[in-house]
Amino acid sequence: MTVLQAARPRDLPALKELLAACGPEVHFIAGGTDMLVAPHEVAREGWLIDISRTAGLEGVRREGNKLWIGATTTLSGLMSSPLIRDHAPVLAEAADLCGSAQIRNRATIGGNVANASPAGDLLPVLKCLVARFQVLGQDGIIRERSFDDTVGRLPAAALIIGVVVPIHAPAPRMAFVKLGVRDDLTIARLNLVMGAHVGADVRLRGVSIFAGALAPRPLRLPSVETVLEGASLQALPVDEYLAALLSAVDAAIPGRASQGYKRRAIMGLGLDLLEKLTGRKDLAS
């Protein structure tokens, strides 16, 4: 006999009230696109709280020099948001490469972060964007947490209610690339995101690069960043860049069965990334 109780709090105050009363066994569901994948079992005990239509947890708005993204904003919602397209287009681009249209219509940014899959497509992008997270505790207090304190490290019964992304002026160039077994509806075998400014001298500055699906959480690649920092767009150190990417794979997953193909894959993906960011189309030659 099931003892699971379900609830659909209508707004944030109702959610806080429920959390305060429902004990430690709490499970949240929004899109359900990870939780309900067979053969996973939905919890049999405690509370199952559907936040997918809880008022106040959805949407995108500008707050000064930051974007606030509600946790239940779907991936389709990210793609169609004018604010996201203006200030964090790389996030919309990554969302468009997640799952299928059906998945994107249900899957949420908060769920992607809370699920903390090593292959989560939004995670390296959010890390590169220096996103922070508003997390509601069972005590009813909302605390802002860093990426590293949130992804894979959420306290029990804690809920991400919002994602905060800084808006930079001038905006850096950013690019995202993903490799899977097919073009659509595919779990990333590897993904890469890069951000950089291009100065008046046409050189890359403030380069940041993260890889997904190469470690439990997005992995920063400082040795690759060093190679590109200050490089002229007209004379990019492509060979050194690819060698640094290859070394990063060797350092991240030595001896793993996937090391062989990821060594090759990261070079092709890395070229795609650099071409996308710089607008150069001739780097492979």
Partner 1 sequence: MQISLVINGVARIDDVDPHLRLSTYLRETRGLTGLKEGCKEGECGACTVLVDGKAVNSCLMLAFQADGVTITTIEGLVSADGQASPLQQAFVTNGAVQCGYCTPGMVMAAEALLRDNPDPDDAAIRHALAGNLCRCTGYQPIIATVREEARRRAASS
CA distance linking residue 241 with residue 83, whole number of Å? 33
- Confirm or reject binding of residue 201 to partner 1 (CB under 8 A): no
Closer residue to partner 1 (CB): 53 or 256: 53
Closer residue to partner 1 (CB): 6 or 251: 6
What number of other Cβ atoms are within 10 A of residue 264's Cβ?
11
- Confirm or reject binding of residue 85 to partner 1 (CB under 8 A): no
CA distance linking residue 55 with residue 13, whole number of Å? 10
CA distance linking residue 277 with residue 238, whole number of Å? 13
Q: Which of 93, 127, 91 is closest to 219 using CA atoms?
A: 127
Q: Which of 138, 187, 174 is closest to 159 using CA atoms?
A: 138
Do 88 and 79 meet the contact criterion of CB atoms below 8 Å apart?
A: no
Using CB under 8 A, pick the residue from 54, 72, 76, 191 that binds partner 1. 76
| Count of residues interacting with partner 1 (CB under 8 A) | 28
Closer residue to partner 1 (CB): 139 or 184: 184
Give least dist CB 185 to partner 1, A. Answer: 5
CA distance linking residue 193 with residue 238, whole number of Å? 17
- Confirm or reject binding of residue 156 to partner 1 (CB under 8 A): no
Using CB under 8 A, pick the residue from 20, 36, 142, 202 that binds partner 1. 36
Residues of the shown chain interacting with partner 1 in the complex, contacts defined by CB under 8 A: 2, 4-6, 8, 29, 31-33, 36-38, 42, 48, 50, 52-53, 76, 99-103, 105-106, 183-185
